[in-house]
């Protein structure tokens, strides 16, 4: 089975061709991503209207490039998978319309994919993980523990009740005048810092369960930053202050993720999975400290730990094509009524609950 995947739910326009061989082996034939960072840089965040227009402008070119690189034409495909949500509605619409056009023109099945399912199923694409596995999805917009039981079966064990960690990294960068997206810059800056100088809060650690909170961290960081600036008599942040603030912030996030992962693992192990594994995905999974902590936790609890390569951890279309293949194997394709959904909870037991799209 060979699918074209299309992704445009945030600020990356992606197209990819992925094949599932008869023995179940996955092969990425092409995976094109065009970012928009430079378009949004001046605004300190993604501007939905600009993103939607950029997707609409770039999609055709990216799709063509992905097909070219795979050495295939549309008629050699078995279907087209597209992110149908959740995400910025203008971008999702651009992708869905592009996919509908291509599917109609070439007479191919259309499969709407949940962007989060794309992230959650990536470890099967990269490492062939068997169901059920535990997934920690940590990105710019999401943070949740998922029990991945099947291509269409996800159980949410808990998640953030406010900001996502990636968002917190981005806000931290903004507060410290570092470039966007903030994660990599905060990580680099933290490398020279003292994580113990600032005692940032570890929210919700005293409560049972796997829920997390990161918005208080940002407030604490703002206060600490202003105290540092005041110390210089208003001259500005010293580079050592910035290093220590980043290190302290990163350590707090890592502590929370580690401790909550420990609890999620305990719940997961209760079901006695044959081949227990924890996978991380989402842009924040690129963070070295967080990866190291989770690896150590898995070593301790006897889980296999996998983290997809970075370009498959952040938004991309290969994961959408793969999720489309997996979904196509267990359910029917969509038709031209496929809708773009700004919110779309993964856990079907929560479907329809207002405000649960994150």
Question: Is residue 314 part of the contact set for ligand ATP (CB under 6 A)?
Answer: yes
Interface segment toward ligand ATP; rule CB under 6 A; list 104-112, 164-172, 203-211, 337-345: 164-172
CB of 167 to Fe ion, least distance (A): 12
CB of 144 to Fe ion, least distance (A): 12
Say if residue 187 carries a ligand binding annotation.
yes
Q: Considering only residues 121-140, where is the footprint of ligand ATP by CB under 6 A?
A: 139-140
Q: Considering only residues 8-27, where is the footprint of ligand ATP by CB under 6 A?
A: 10
Identify which of residues 46 and 103 has a Cβ nearer to ligand ATP in the complex: 46
Question: Is residue 286 part of the contact set for ligand ATP (CB under 6 A)?
Answer: yes
Return the bridge partners of 137, or none: 144, 281
Pick the binder of ligand ATP from 55, 111, 126, 170 (CB under 6 A).
170
Q: How far apart are CA 295 and CA 313, in angstroms?
A: 16
Q: How far apart are CA 349 and CA 204, in angstroms?
A: 24
Say if residue 138 carries a ligand binding annotation.
yes
Identify which of residues 84 and 102 has a Cβ nearer to ligand ATP in the complex: 84
Binding at 357: pick from ligand ATP, Fe ion, none (beta carbon under 5-8 Å per type): none
CB of 189 to ligand ATP, least distance (A): 11
CB of 227 to ligand ATP, least distance (A): 24
Pick the binder of ligand ATP from 123, 248, 282, 324 (CB under 6 A).
282
Identify which of residues 78 and 258 has a Cβ nearer to ligand ATP in the complex: 258
Question: Is residue 357 part of the contact set for ligand ATP (CB under 6 A)?
Answer: no
Question: Is residue 142 part of the contact set for ligand ATP (CB under 6 A)?
Answer: yes
Identify which of residues 2 and 314 has a Cβ nearer to ligand ATP in the complex: 314
Say if residue 141 carries a ligand binding annotation.
yes
User: Applying CB under 6 A, which residues contact ligand ATP?
Assistant: 10, 87, 139-142, 166, 169-170, 181-184, 187, 282-284, 286-287, 314-315
């Amino acid at each position: 089975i060979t699918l074209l995947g299309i992704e445009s739910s945030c600020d990356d326009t992606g197209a990819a061709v992925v094949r599932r061989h008869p023995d179940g082996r996955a092969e990425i034939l092409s995976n094109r991503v065009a970012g928009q960072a430079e378009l949004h840089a001046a605004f300190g965040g993604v501007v939905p209207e600009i993103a939607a227009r950029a997707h609409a402008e770039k999609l055709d070119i990216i799709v063509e490039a992905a097909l070219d690189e795979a050495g295939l034409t549309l008629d050699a495909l078995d279907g087209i998978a597209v992110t149908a949500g959740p995400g910025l509605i203008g971008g999702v619409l651009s992708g869905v319309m592009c996919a509908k056009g291509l599917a109609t023109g070439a007479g191919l099945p259309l499969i709407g994919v949940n962007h989060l399912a794309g992230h959650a199923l990536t470890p099967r694409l990269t490492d062939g993980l068997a169901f059920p596995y535990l997934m920690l999805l940590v990105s710019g917009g999401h943070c949740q523990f998922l029990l991945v039981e099947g291509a269409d079966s996800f159980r949410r064990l808990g998640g953030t009740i406010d900001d996502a960690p990636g968002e917190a990294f981005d806000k931290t960068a903004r507060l410290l005048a570092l470039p966007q997206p903030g994660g990599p810059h905060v990580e680099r800056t933290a490398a020279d810092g003292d994580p113990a100088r600032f005692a940032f809060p570890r929210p919700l650690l005293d409560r049972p369960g796997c829920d997390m909170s990161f918005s208080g961290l940002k407030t604490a960081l703002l206060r600490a930053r202003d105290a540092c600036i005041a110390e210089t008599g208003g001259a500005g942040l010293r580079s050592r202050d910035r290093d220590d603030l980043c290190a302290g912030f990163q350590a707090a996030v890592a502590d929370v993720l580690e401790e909550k992962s420990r609890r999620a693992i305990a719940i997961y192990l209760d079901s006695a999975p044959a081949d227990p594994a924890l996978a991380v995905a989402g842009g924040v999974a690129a963070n070295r400290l967080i990866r190291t902590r989770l690896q150590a936790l898995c070593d301790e609890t006897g889980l296999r730990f996998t983290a997809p390569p970075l370009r498959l951890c952040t938004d991309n279309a290969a994961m959408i094509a793969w999720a489309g293949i997996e979904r196509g194997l267990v359910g029917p394709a969509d038709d031209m009524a496929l809708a773009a959904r700004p919110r779309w909870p993964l856990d079907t037991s929560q479907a329809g609950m207002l405000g649960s799209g994150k």
